[in-house]
Amino acid sequence: MMSTSTLTEFSRDGLTFDVIDTGPRDGDPVILLHGFPERASSWEQVAARLHEAGLRTLAVDQRGYSPRARPRRVRDYRTTELADDVAVLAELLHEQTGRRPHLVGHDWGSAVAWTLAMRHPDLIRSLTAVSVPHPGAFLRSEFTSTQFLKSWYFVPFTAPFVMTALARRPRLIDPMLRRFGMTPAEVARFHTGIVGYGVLPYGLHWYRAMALADRGLLAEQVRVPTTLVWSDGDVAVGRHGVEGTAARMAPEADYRLVVLEGVTHWIPTQAPEPLAAAILARVAAS
């Protein structure tokens, strides 16, 4: 019998992850993965629109963001580890509902979602990646386009203590966040939900663990039905990697690209309606 109980947490390897489980209990499940520097609550507006269409959403505070899932070593934040965390949730949902979930990720959550789709394609019905293209296409764009200029922030993000020191000085870090397109309300949530909640050092470990990534995945094709949603106002992610993603898709993936015009990087909070529409179109076709 299908379980309709609310799922507020799940565990893996001694770590416990908090989940915001909302929407119709009998709806098809959709896992929502946030990026940096955001948390599960960033999906609130998108989730509301998915609920109206009859879907159940499960937004996760991922590794380093959930207080009971904060290992200290950088190596514990490799993307494969992050993806395997979500794989546990996908398996649990399948066990409880008899349905494979749809997967949606934004920013770093997109990188985790791509990795899960490549490592465990049997666990999900579809993938909607938001803002960040296929990891192999993104890395190639670093060397073949101006993407490396857009990625300048990797330097302070990976340097020890730089960002944590800046975060204590709003007059220095706030202009940087606004440069990336954050609104004043989003900057305020960074200070309360990321800095004040103790997330920042662990969220930065995601960047520092990039050097330990599984390089073999960069050449992997994605075989699940996939939509990439990108916005042309994104100052962090350029068009070159986005256009290169199609070559990383298997024919059966039914790959689609949705470009939102005039929207910044923060699509889930600043353009929830067109993003929800893209997700719903992917779900309906899968």
8-37 pLDDT, tens digit each: 999 999 999 999 999 999 999 999 999 999
Give the H/E segment covering residue 11: strand 9-12
Q: Select from 169, 168, 132, 154 the least CA-distant residue to 204.
A: 154
Residue 233 has pLDDT above 50, yes or no: yes
Give the H/E segment covering residue 48: helix 44-52
Task: List phi, psi (to 5°) of 244.
Answer: -80, -10
- Take residue 17 and report the two structure tokens written for it: 């992850």
Find the distance separating the first CA and the last CA of the chain, reported in whole Å: 24
pLDDT tens readout for residues 138-152: 999 999 999 999 999
Give the H/E segment covering residue 106: strand 102-106
pLDDT for res 15: 98
Q: What is the residue type of 268? A: P
Domain residue spans in the chain?
9-284
Residue 255 has pLDDT above 60, yes or no: yes
Candidate CATH numbers 3.40.50.1820, 3.90.950.20, 3.30.750.200, 3.40.50.720; the one for domain 9-284: 3.40.50.1820
pLDDT for res 216: 86
Q: What is the residue type of 196? A: G
Residue 3 has pLDDT above 70, yes or no: no
As a whole number, mean pLDDT of residues 230-239 equals 97
**CA–CA dist 21, 60 (Å, integer):** 9
SS3 3: coil
Q: Select from 232, 275, 247, 226 the least CA-distant residue to 125.
A: 226
146 and 200 in contact (C-beta within 8 Å)?
no
Q: What percentage of residues in the chain have a pLDDT greater than 70? A: 99
- What pTM value is reported for the model? 0.97
pLDDT tens readout for residues 215-227: 888 889 999 999 9
pLDDT tens readout for residues 194-218: 999 999 999 999 999 999 988 888 8
Within 10 Å of residue 86's Cβ, how many Cβ atoms?
Answer: 28
pLDDT for res 1: 44
Report the mean per-residue pLDDT for the chain.
96
Task: List phi, psi (to 5°) of 82.
Answer: -60, -40
161: left (phi over 0), alpha (psi -120 to 50) or beta: left
Task: Find residue 228's DSSP bridge partners.
Answer: 129, 257
As a whole number, mean pLDDT of residues 169-174 equals 92
